[in-house]
Structure formats: structure tokens, C-alpha cells
Amino acid sequence: MPGETASRGRFRLPPPASRLPICTVLLACTLLCALSTPASADPVLRVKDVAALEGAASIPLVGYGLVVGLAKTGDRRQTIFSTQTLSNMLEKFGIQVPAAQMNVENIAAVLVIADLPVYARAGARIDVTASSVGDARSLQGGTLLATALKGPNGQIYALAQGPLSIGGFGGGGGGASVTVNHLTVGRVPSGALVQQGTGVTMPDSDRVSLALREPDFLSASRLAQTVNTALGSDVARVIDPGTVSIEVPETYRGSIPSLMARLELLPIETDQVARVVINERTGTVVVGGAVRLGSAAVAHGNLSVTIRTTFAASQPAPFSQGQTTIVPNTDVNVREEARRLVTLEEGTTLDEVVRALNLLGSTPRDIIAIMQALKASGALRADIVVL
């Protein structure tokens, strides 16, 4: 009936006639509606998705290189090391040009990073990311010249080269410009050729250990049960929340790869940590399905300040010997949106809150502030991770 408060799940909404775009709690994103699942159903994954063989870790690589082919969007004269790099490179080709006499804007100095998989061998290819270290405006259309990638021990493990993929664009003229995404960081897919492997080999012993990607007692216990059921004996036991030790059966002694190939495809139910991930730079909020809310009343309002300046010409009177001047007229408008209070009851789930957000039309920027306030009040039962 009109004037009667509607009730959906464990949250209460104002009457339809008085509904305003109230910013409530969790995620104002249609994608989460498709991804939200009942909290009682734990996700079923493969063993390879939650654990890896202990001791197998990738090696971070880094190198210094030069990107060429830019359309006057590269480093300018404030960055001297890029022209010095170009001068040193040309000298190797028998061309001697002092760096102080160079005035080019189509090159940019970059730092190149990559991760070398633990079992990668010579001849394999890996992806690399190049980031500008000078004052370049854009790496769009650039090509990375051959760059040696070194590990923490100073050895060269890979050589990177190839055209950059920016994932955005920028352009302009006549004092106006437009930029989409970040233009000073680019990737070269499969752009690095591995020169030497890590030298790591598969263990050859009667016991191996699986390291969980996210340590958790319940997930580790379920992993051990899954392995024992598949192998038909109690060969796996939990050492700590992040480690499950497995005694290699007689049939797999000396053949650890065959054992891992069998175990990695086994389905396992994992437990989710209640977590909310916030990226304030992009306004992105991602909420896990295990998130719960306690009793709380939420209201959030936006304060808008608009400053508009117009210029008018002040004309002196005839024969007054005065001068025409430009007078600025500034108009300041401050407006605070009216907001209603929304009540959340104990145990409100993500699915219920997502439905409320779709009806109320909240924005991610406001949700970030509300989520942090709910966490501070103790009503949000989840960890907040800020990227």
C-alpha cells in the first residue's frame, strides 16, 4: 500500500514514492549479481588452483631498455639518460654523436620487468612489461629494443624485444587532448626469449610437500583428505595452514611428475576468506561471497561544490581616458544531496545487498567510503584490502 515500507530479505527500503539514489553498502556493479553465489556453497576447484609443489617459485627479472618509434611523445631534454643510452648504442654501430648534441623526442627510457617460471628452460618465451622512467608522455606505437633481463643474482636470464601493447590511446591538437587509460606502461606478449633456465629440477625423494597459495586450516585439511581418498591410503597430513606433506607411494617413487599430474586435476572444496578489495585509483570494489554484515543503519550524502567563472569587459565612459579591462565574475554553488537512512539487519548477505544496490543506484566511489565506515563501526565482518 502507498506509504508502507517495503521489505526485501533482511534490508528495509523506503516507500517507492520516496526512493532516492541512496548509497548503501557493498558493490554497485551488475557483474557481482552474476558472480554472487549462496554463501553456504564453497567453490569447487582443482588442486592445482589452490596449491603448488613446495620450493617451486618464479624469479623476478628486471632490465633497463630503450623504446623507439614514438611520435614526439618520448623523453624530452629534462631526461638526459635516454639520450645518453642512444648515444652509447649508436657508438656500437660506428656512429659517434655526443649526447649533449642530441635533440630527439621519439625515444623513451624504460624499466622492463618479467617473471621467470621456475621450470622455464632456454628457448621458452615469457611476457614482459615496460614502464617509462623519464618524462615521456606516451609509449603508444613504440618498439622495445633488445633488453637484457637480469635476476637478483645479476645473471642474464632472458632478452626482451618487440612492439608495445598499451591498451589505450591518446591524441590531441590545438591545445586540446584526450587520453584513455595509462599510456606510459606497455606490455610485450611473449616478448622475452629465455636464455638460461633456473636450474631447478623436480624433487626425487620419498616425500613431497604442497604449499597452499592462501594458507587456511580448513583448506589444508580438505586438501589432505582429497589426496588420501585419491591414493587410497593415509599418505597426506597437514603440517601447518600452508603446507600439506605427502609420502610418495611406491608406484610413484622416482616419478614425481606423474604423481603431480594425477593430483593436480583432483576436485577440492575450498573455504573463502571474507574479504573486500578496494582500488581507490579506479573506483573498483570487489566483495567476496562470504562477507556478512551486522546490524547497522547507513546514510551517505554527497557534497557538491560548483565554481563557475565568466569574464566580462568593463568599458570606460567616453572621453574619460580610461582603459577597457576584463572583470571576472565568479559564481560559487554548494549543494548537499538529501539522503535517507537505510537499516541493515544482522546477517545480511551479499546477495541481498546486491539486490538492494541495484534498486537504489549507488556508485562505487561512495561505496568505498561507506565500506570503510562500516568496517570501523564493526558491522562489516570482512577484511578490507586496499590496492
Nearest-CA neighbor of 132 among 88, 172, 183?
183
| Whole-angstrom distance, CA of residue 290 vs CA of residue 371 | 15
Distance, CA of 282 to chain centre: 9
Q: What pLDDT, in 10s, does the model give residues 165-186?
A: 987 666 655 555 666 667 899 9
Whether the pLDDT of residue 32 is over 50: the answer is no
Looking at residue 122, what is its pLDDT? 92
Q: Please check the confidence at residue 108 and state whether its pLDDT lies above 50.
A: yes
* Bridge partners (DSSP) listed for residue 180: 169
How much is the mean pLDDT over the chain?
77
Per residue in 191-213, pLDDT (tens digit) is 999 999 887 777 777 888 899 98
The SS3 assignment for 121 reads coil
348 CB burial (10 A radius; 0-12, 13-18, 19+): buried
**Lowest mean pLDDT, pick from 7-21, 234-248, 281-295, 372-386:** 7-21
* 297: enclosing H helix or E strand: strand 296-298
Contact yes or no for 53/69 (Cβ under 8 A): no
pLDDT at position 22 is 36
Q: What is the pTM of this model?
A: 0.60
pLDDT tens digit sequence for 126-156: 999 999 999 898 898 999 999 999 999 999 9
- Rg of the chain in Å (alpha carbons): 30
Say which residue the cell 624530452 belongs to.
Answer: 76
Domain limits, the chain: 6-40+276-386, 59-194, 203-269
pLDDT tens column, 45-76: 899 888 988 876 789 999 999 999 998 888 88
Determine the average pLDDT of the residues in 253-282: 84
In whole angstroms, how far apart are CA 65 and each of 25, 124, 160? 46, 21, 9
Residue 185 and residue 131 in contact, taking contact as beta carbons nearer than 8 Å: yes
CA-to-CA separations, 326 to 46, 69, 309, in angstroms, rounded: 71, 45, 12
Sign of CA dihedral 170, 172, 175, 177: negative
Q: Which CATH architecture has domain 203-269?
A: 2-Layer Sandwich (3.30)
Q: What value does the mean pLDDT take over residues 22-48?
A: 49
